[in-house]
Structure 1
Amino acid sequence: MLLLLLFSLLVAVEVQEKAVALPSPSCPKSCGDVDIEYPFGIGAECAMEGFQLNCSKTGVPLFFDEIPVRDILLPQGQVRAMKHVSTMTRGSGEDPDIYGKDLSGTPFTYSGTSNHFMVVGAANTIAYIADNNFLVGCATQCSPNNHLKAQDGQSYCKCQAKLGGNMSNDYVYFNEVKNDTKRYTNRTAGGSADSYAVIMEAAAFGFNASLPNMTAFLEAAESRINKSDPYGGRVPVILNWVVGNGTCDVASRNKSSYACISNNHVCVDSNSSNGPGYLCNCKKGYSGNPYLPDPDGCKDTDECVVQNPPPCPGRCINIPGDFYCPPISYPRIVGLVVGPTIAGLIVVIAITCTFLVRERKKLANIKQKYFQQHGGMLLLQGISLKQGTAFSVFTEAELIEATNKFEEKNILGRGGHGTVYKGILKDGSLIAVKKCVSMTSEQQKKEFGKEMLILSQINHKNIVKLLGCCLEVEVPMLVYEFIPNGTLFHFIHGDNGCHNIPFSTRIHIAHESAQALAYLHSWASPPILHGDVKSSNILLDKNYVAKVSDFGASILAPTDESQFVTLVQGTCGYLDPEYMQTCQLTDKSDVYSFGVVILELLTGKKAFKLDGPENERSLSQHFLSTMKEDRLMDIIDDRIKSDSNIGLLEEVAELARQCLEMVGERRPSMRDVAEKLERLSKVMQHPWVPVQYDPEEMESLLGESSVANLEMICTGNFSMEKRIVQGLLESGR
C-alpha cells in the first residue's frame, strides 16, 4: 500500500508539472489582427518560457517590449517580425542611426534561408553584420544593373548578401570606402548622401525590385513614428525558433519537460546558431497545435471534405489520419468489364513504361549536361594524361549510397559554403563529401573541371587530399580523405580535455600548417590562395598531424581585376582588414589570418568574442595592444608559460605581430613564416644545438673578430643567435 501511494504521488506530481506549463483557457487568443498560438502567449502564465509577448495599447503583439510581431507560423517554426532600418548620413558628422537585437540565449535566430542583408543608398558604402559564427556584408556600387532612381529624383545604389546560416545578432556596422580606392570606378549615382542597411525577409524586396517596393523600403527607412500604421518605419524579418535545448531523442525521454503534448505529433530536430533544439508538428492527416493536449491538439483532417475535388466522390470514407475508397461492386456485369479492364490495364502499363523510359533518358541527359557544363570531359582527358593521379570522378548514386542518402547523423560540419558529410565507399574507405551551396558564376562553371585537375595534383602531407568530385549534379560535390580527430579549433577550445596542449606541440602544429600554406602559395602552379584560414579549417589526423582543409575551385589566384570578389565574406576575427577595404584577396590575406591562428595557440583564446569587453572582443587587436604596452605575458596562456621558454614565447609572439601588420606588403611570406617556425621547433627539441646552421658556416659568419661579435650578439635581443653561440661554445669552437 505504501509503494502504491508513493507511485500515485509521483504520477500526480508529473501531471501537475505538465498542467503548470499549459496555458489557461482565459489566456488571450489574439492581439489586434494577430492570432496568438501556444507556445506563444500574452503574459508569462500563458506562454512557454522564452515565448512571452506583450499586447500594446494599439493592438500590436511585441517581442521583448520592442519588436512588433505580424505573423506566427507554427508548423514552420517561424515568426514574421518587424525591424527598424539602420541609417548613416555621409558627411553630417553625426553617428549612424543603428538598430539591432542580439538574440543569444533566446529560442530565436534570424533565419539564414528566409532573409538576406540589404544595403541601399550612397555609393561606396560598406555595411555588415556579425555574430560568433558568421560575418556578412557588401559594398554599394552603382552601375546600369543596380542603379535605382526614386520618385523624389534621388539616385540610390544597392547591394545584397545571402546569410551563411542562422544568425543570433543583426547589429549593423557602417564604413565608407575612400574615393581614391582603385576598385570603385563608378562611384557616384546621383547625389544621395544617405545609406540604409537591414537584415530583412528576402521575399519582401528582391535584388531586381520594382520601383513601388523601392519606394516603400525608403519610406520605412526614413520613417520613425507613424501613428496611423503600427508597423511604420519597419521592414519584415523572419525569425526561426525552437523549443527545448536538445534533440528530439534526448527531449522525449523527459516527459515532464517534453513540449510535444498531442498524441498525434511528430518531433523534428532543428539546429540553430544558439544550439540544438526541436519543433513539434502534427502527423500527416492531422492538423492543429501539437503543443496542446488532446482534444485541443492535433485533430484528424477529414480529407473527404477538405480536398477539392474530393477523392472518390460518393464513396470516400474518412479514417483517422487518412481516408478510404471502397471498391465499386458490379455483381451482374463483371464478365462484361473484365476484358476492357485488362485491355485498359495493358494500355496503362505501356504508357507508364514509356513515360519511365523517357524520364530516365531525360534525367540522364540532364546529368550529362551538368557533367559537360562543369568541364567533365576536360577533366577526364587531363586525368588520362596525368599518369599516377589518384583522382576519381564519382557518380551521384555512389555518394548517395556512401552517405546513406546524406543522412543527418553523418554531418561532420556546416559552413557558409556548404555541408560536409562522412561517407563509406564500397571498399570500406572513409571519405568526407562536401555538398556546396551554390555556384552562380558561369565562368566558374566552365573552369571548374580545369581547376579540379590542378587541385588534384596537390600532394602534400599537411593538406587534406582531394580524392575526386561529382559533376553530374547542378552544384558539383567534392570528395576528400577523411580526417578522424576533428579540428584544431575544438582541440584548443573544446571541453574534452585536449585543450591542455604543451607548447612544443602547439609550435609543431603551427609549423605543419604554415608548411601547407607556403606550399599552396609558392610551389603550386598556379598559386592557390586559401581565403579562409582559421583553426576550424585545420584538421588533425590520428597522429595529430595538422592538415589544412576547406579550399576548392574558387581560390585559384586571380589573374586580372575582373576575377576579384566584390562581396566581403569570411570569418569574423580572422579577416584581413586590408581585404575589407580593397575587396582584393592576396597571399598576404592568408598570412594575416594565420597570424590569428598563432595567437589562438599562444593564448588559448578564441579569435572573436561578442560577449567580452569591447577592447578584448578581437583577439588580434587585444594582442597588438598588449604588445604595444609591453604586457605580452598578460595574454599568454598560463599553461605554457615558464621561465625557461619566455624567449621562445617572445619570438613566436613577434612572428605573430609581423603577420598582423595592417599593410600587407609589410607582412612576411608564408614561406618565411614556415622557416621561422621550423627553426623554433628544432630549437625546442635541441635547445643547445645550432641546428639551423653548420658550425663552420657560423664561424665564417662571425668573422675574425669573434670576441667582439659574440659580445654584440649576446648583449642584443637575439635569443635565437644566443642559442647558436652557446652551441658553438659547448662544441669547443
Structure 2
Amino acid sequence: MLPMHLLLLLFSFAIVMQSVVRGASSLPHPGCPDKCGDVDIVYPFGIGPGCAMEEGFELHCNKSQDGHKNVTYFSKLPVVDISLLQGQVRMMSNIASTCHNHSTTYLLDFHGTPFTVSEKENMFTVIGANALAFMAGARQSAIYVIGCLTQSSPYKNLTAQEGLCTGVGCCQVALSSRLSYHNISFSDANASDENASGMDGERHCRYAMVVEADKFKFHTAYLNATNFWDEHKGEVPIILNWAVGDKTCDVAKKDTASYACRSSNSYCINSTSHPGYLCNCSEGYRGNPYLSGSGGCQDINECDLNPPPCPGYCINTQGSFFCQNTKNRSFSHSGTAIISVGLSVTVVMLVIAVTCSYLIRERRKLANIKERYFRQHGGLLLLEQISSGQGTTFTIFTEAELMEATDQFDDKNVLGRGGHGTVYKGTLKNGTAVAIKRCISMTDEQQRKEFGKEMLILSQVNHKNIVKLLGCCLEVEVPMLVYEFIPNGTLFQFIHGINGCRSTPFSTRIRIAHESALAMDYLHSCASPPILHGDVKSSNILLDDNYSAKVSDFGASIVAPTDESQFVTLVQGTCGYLDPEYMQTCQLTDKSDVYSFGVVLLELITGKKALSLQGPESERSLSMRFLCALKEGRLMDVIDDHIKGEENVGLLEEVADLARQCLEMAGENRPAMREVAERLDRLRKVMQHPWMQRNPEEVESLLGGREPSVAGVEMVSSTTFLTMEKRVGLLEFGR
C-alpha cells in the first residue's frame, strides 16, 4: 500500500502542475464580443468602445478579403491568436518582393503601441537567387540595420537544399530585441536576373520578410516562378510581444487605479522583451488575471480532474486540495497516530533520498553541460595558451563569479544594450569595477571553434586608448566578456547629451579624435594579426576619468582576412556609419573603419547626429549633408557655432578636408588610419603652439601695434600657418 500511495501522491502533483498552466478566457464585461472568426478575444484586448484596457489593445472585426468569414485585425494586420500567459500575439505580416522590374518594400511600425517584434521566435528571411535585402529597425532612439545575401548555382559547389535555409537560395538572420519598427527593402547589387540564370525556371522573384521561425520551411521550388507568393498569398505569420504600460511591477503596484492585475488571485511579472509587465494567475488558479471577480482567476478543482489525484479521498480547497482516508475509521486514536507518524517519517526520508539523488544527478549534468560549452568556445585552447605564458593577464571567470558581481544580472546594473549583447556593470570580489558583456547567441559551429582563439588575440591588445579585455566566461551557452570599467559614458552621450559638448573647446574635440585614431591605427597596423573593428561609432568610444578616448565593443570585429576567399554574407554595423562600399561588396576592410571614423569626426565638429529621422530626406545623413555643404562652399553652415571663430577657420577647414577624404566612396581613395592619426597629431601641435595660445589683441598691444614675430618670423594666422606647414613640414617648422 505504501508504494502505491506515494505513486498516487506524486502523480497528483504532476496533474496539478499541468493544470496550472492551462488558461481559460473570460469576458471582460457583458456586451463585448468574446470571439471574432477563429480568434478568442481576451481582455485586456477588446473589440468596440470600452472593451479594451487601453487604446493600444483595441482590435477590429471585419470581413475577410474573400468575404466568407470574419477576421480579427490590429490596424491592418490579421490576428491569428492571443496568448495571455506568454504575452504574445501571432499576426500575419506582408512579404516584400521584387520580380523583374517591379519591387516592393515593406514597413511595419508599432511605435506608440504595446507591441514589439519578438527576436526569439522570428527570423529575418530572404529567398531567391543572389538576393540582397536589408532590414532597418528601431528601438527607442537607436537604429539597427541587418542584411542578408543569398547565393546561387553559378558559384562552384553551391546547391540549394530542400528544407534547409543554408545561404544558397535562402538565408536567415537573427533579430535585435525590442524592435518597434522595421523597414524591409532590396538592393540591386548582385541581384540581377542574369546572375540568377543558373536556377531552373524562366521567372525569378525574390522575397524578404520577418517570419515566425517555426512556421517557415524552405523549398527549392520557391526559387522558380511565384510558388512562394502563391502558397502564402503574400502573408507570413509573425510573433509580437506585448506588455502592459512601461513600468516595472514594483512601480505599477503603487498606482492601484491603473494597476492591471485585477484578480485577487493573480501576481505581476516584469516583461523581459518589452518595457512594462504581465499578469498571471497564482498557483492553483486559472482564468484571466486582468479581470476581477468571477471573470478573473478561479480556483482549479483538482478533485474533478480526470483522473483525480486521490480517487474517493480528494477534498478540494481554495488554490489546493488534500487527500483524506475514510475507510479505516475503526483504528484507535493511538494506532492512527503511530501509523501517521510512521508514514510521515517514511515519506520524509524517501523525499530526502529522492531529492539528494536528483540534486547529485542534476549537478553532474550541469557540470557536463558547462564542460561542453567550455570546449565549444575554445576554452582548452585558451588554457593552453595562458599556461604557455601567452596572455597571463587574461582571466577565465566562472558564471557564479559574474552573477555575484552583477547581483544576478539585475536590470539596475545595465549600462547599455546593443546588437551584439547587453553590458552590465559589476564589482569583483577584490573591489575592481568591471563591465560585463553578455553576447548574443552564436549559431555557427565555426564561430564557436574560433571564439577562444579570437579572445586570446583581443586579450593581448594593449593600448592606452583601447578598453582592456580582462577575461571571459566560457562555461555558459552564450560567452560573456569582462572589460575594464570606463566611468564617463560614451562619446555619443558626451556630444548629444542634454547639454551636448557646447562648452567643450575645439582643442579637446581634436584630442579625442586623435586618441581614437591612434587606437584604430594600433588595431590595423600593430596588432598581430591586424584587427578590423567593424562598428566604429561615437557610442563605441568611451571616455575615462580624464575624458581620454577608449575604443570599445569588438562584437562586430574580425581578424583581417588573409586571402580573398574569406568574406562575409551578412552586413553588420550601424546605419549612418556604414561604409557604402562594404554594403555593396559585403567585404569588411580597414578602409571601412576609416569611413566610419570620418563620420565620428563630423559629429565632433558639427555637434550633430550621424543619422536623424527628422527633416528632409537629403539631410538625414550627416555625411551626405556635410559633403553637399562642402561642395557648395557652405562649410561653416554645418560647423558647430561654439567652435567657430576667425582663429579656428583654417583648422576647421583642415579637419573638414580630412573628414572628406575619409568619406570617399571608393575605399582605395581613403587615407589609412595611420595617416589620419598623424594629420590630427599635427593639428594638435599647431593648436598647442605658443603663437596660437595668445590673444591676438594682447600681442598687438604689447608690440606697439605691429604684427608680432618670433625668432624673426612674422606672426601669421592659423590658415597661413597650416599652408606653410604643408610646404615645409610642421615638426621642422615648429622647432
Q: TM-score range by the shorter chain?
A: 0.7 to 0.9
Counterpart Cα distance in 2 of 1:613 and 1:271: 36
Give the aligned partner of residue 139 of structure 1. Answer: 149
1:654 positional shift:
1.6
Counterpart Cα distance in 1 of 2:277 and 2:419: 22
1:221 positional shift:
2.4
**TM-score normalised by structure 1 residue count:** 0.81
Larger displacement relative to structure 2 (517-526 or 422-431): 422-431
Give the aligned partner of residue 183 of structure 2. Answer: 171
Q: Are 2:105 and 1:98 equivalent residues in the alignment?
A: yes
**Residues 567-601 of structure 1: per-residue CA shift (max 9 Å, x gap):** 12221111111111111111111111111111222
Contact 1:413/1:419 (CA < 8 Å) preserved in 2? yes
**Residues 375-430 of structure 1: per-residue CA shift (max 9 Å, x gap):** 32332232233378321111222122222222232222222222222221111111
Counterpart Cα distance in 1 of 2:717 and 2:604: 30
1:88 positional shift:
0.8
Aligned AA for 1:411? V
Q: Label 1:339 to 1:243 Cα distance change in 2 as closer, same or farther (>3 A).
A: closer
Q: Label 1:402 to 1:719 Cα distance change in 2 as closer, same or farther (>3 A).
A: same
Which residue of 704, 721, 731 maps to 2:723? 721
Which secondary structure does the structure 1 equivalent of 2:63 belong to? coil
Contact 2:269/2:277 (CA < 8 Å) preserved in 1? yes
Give the aligned partner of residue 193 of structure 1. Answer: 204
1:665 positional shift:
0.9
1:463 positional shift:
0.9
Give the alignment's Cα RMSD to 1 decimal.
3.8
Contact 2:199/2:224 (CA < 8 Å) preserved in 1? no
Counterpart Cα distance in 2 of 1:725 and 1:85: 59
Contact 1:126/1:177 (CA < 8 Å) preserved in 2? no
Q: Label 1:716 to 1:610 Cα distance change in 2 as closer, same or farther (>3 A).
A: closer
| Correspondence list, 1:217-232, <5 A | 221-222=229-230, 232=233
1:616 positional shift:
2.0
Give the aligned partner of residue 407 of structure 1. Answer: 410
Give the aligned partner of residue 518 of structure 1. Answer: 521
Counterpart Cα distance in 1 of 2:314 and 2:171: 54
1:530 positional shift:
0.8
Aligned AA for 2:83? L
1:222 positional shift:
4.6
Aligned AA for 1:202? A
Q: Are 2:53 and 1:53 equivalent residues in the alignment?
A: no
Identity in percent: 60
1:660 positional shift:
1.1
**Residues 257-299 of structure 1: per-residue CA shift (max 9 Å, x gap):** 3333333333333366xx8333333333333333333332333
Contact 1:156/1:190 (CA < 8 Å) preserved in 2? no
Give the aligned partner of residue 281 of structure 2. Answer: 282
Give the aligned partner of residue 32 of structure 1. Answer: 37
Counterpart Cα distance in 1 of 2:401 and 2:80: 46
Counterpart Cα distance in 1 of 2:483 and 2:718: 48
Aligned AA for 2:295? D
Q: Label 1:114 to 1:360 Cα distance change in 2 as closer, same or farther (>3 A).
A: closer
Larger displacement relative to structure 2 (525-534 or 127-136): 127-136
1:60 positional shift:
1.4
Which residue of 434, 439, 442 maps to 1:436? 439
Aligned AA for 2:367? A
Contact 2:245/2:277 (CA < 8 Å) preserved in 1? yes
Q: Are 2:465 and 1:462 equivalent residues in the alignment?
A: yes
Contact 2:91/2:239 (CA < 8 Å) preserved in 1? yes
Q: Label 1:460 to 1:38 Cα distance change in 2 as closer, same or farther (>3 A).
A: same
Q: Label 1:210 to 1:259 Cα distance change in 2 as closer, same or farther (>3 A).
A: same
Which secondary structure does the structure 2 equivalent of 1:134 belong to? strand
Aligned AA for 1:28? P
1:178 positional shift:
3.8
Which secondary structure does the structure 2 equivalent of 1:46 belong to? coil
Which secondary structure does the structure 2 equivalent of 1:135 belong to? strand
5+ residue gaps, structure 2 = 1-26, 65-69, 694-712
Q: Label 1:347 to 1:304 Cα distance change in 2 as closer, same or farther (>3 A).
A: closer
Larger displacement relative to structure 2 (381-390 or 170-179): 381-390
Counterpart Cα distance in 2 of 1:78 and 1:336: 51
Give the aligned partner of residue 214 of structure 2. Answer: 203
| Correspondence list, 1:471-486, <5 A | 471-486=474-489
Counterpart Cα distance in 2 of 1:366 and 1:665: 48
Larger displacement relative to structure 2 (492-501 or 589-598): 492-501
Give the aligned partner of residue 15 of structure 1. Answer: none
Counterpart Cα distance in 2 of 1:309 and 1:653: 79
Q: Label 1:574 to 1:336 Cα distance change in 2 as closer, same or farther (>3 A).
A: same
Q: Label 1:251 to 1:490 Cα distance change in 2 as closer, same or farther (>3 A).
A: farther
Contact 2:199/2:223 (CA < 8 Å) preserved in 1? no
Contact 2:135/2:147 (CA < 8 Å) preserved in 1? yes
Q: Label 1:464 to 1:299 Cα distance change in 2 as closer, same or farther (>3 A).
A: same
Give the aligned partner of residue 601 of structure 1. Answer: 604
1:343 positional shift:
7.5
Contact 2:647/2:718 (CA < 8 Å) preserved in 1? no
Give the aligned partner of residue 297 of structure 1. Answer: 296
Aligned AA for 2:160? H
1:256 positional shift:
3.4
Give the aligned partner of residue 674 of structure 1. Answer: 677
Q: Label 1:641 to 1:281 Cα distance change in 2 as closer, same or farther (>3 A).
A: farther
1:514 positional shift:
1.3
Counterpart Cα distance in 1 of 2:150 and 2:254: 51
5+ residue gaps, structure 1 = 1-21, 224-230, 691-709
Give the aligned partner of residue 67 of structure 2. Answer: none
Counterpart Cα distance in 1 of 2:684 and 2:307: 76
Give the aligned partner of residue 261 of structure 2. Answer: 260
1:714 positional shift:
8.4
Counterpart Cα distance in 2 of 1:276 and 1:62: 23
**Residues 681-730 of structure 1: per-residue CA shift (max 9 Å, x gap):** 3333336269xxxxxxxxxxxxxxxxxxx99x9899766235799999xx
Give the aligned partner of residue 631 of structure 2. Answer: 628
Which residue of 119, 125, 140 maps to 1:118? 125
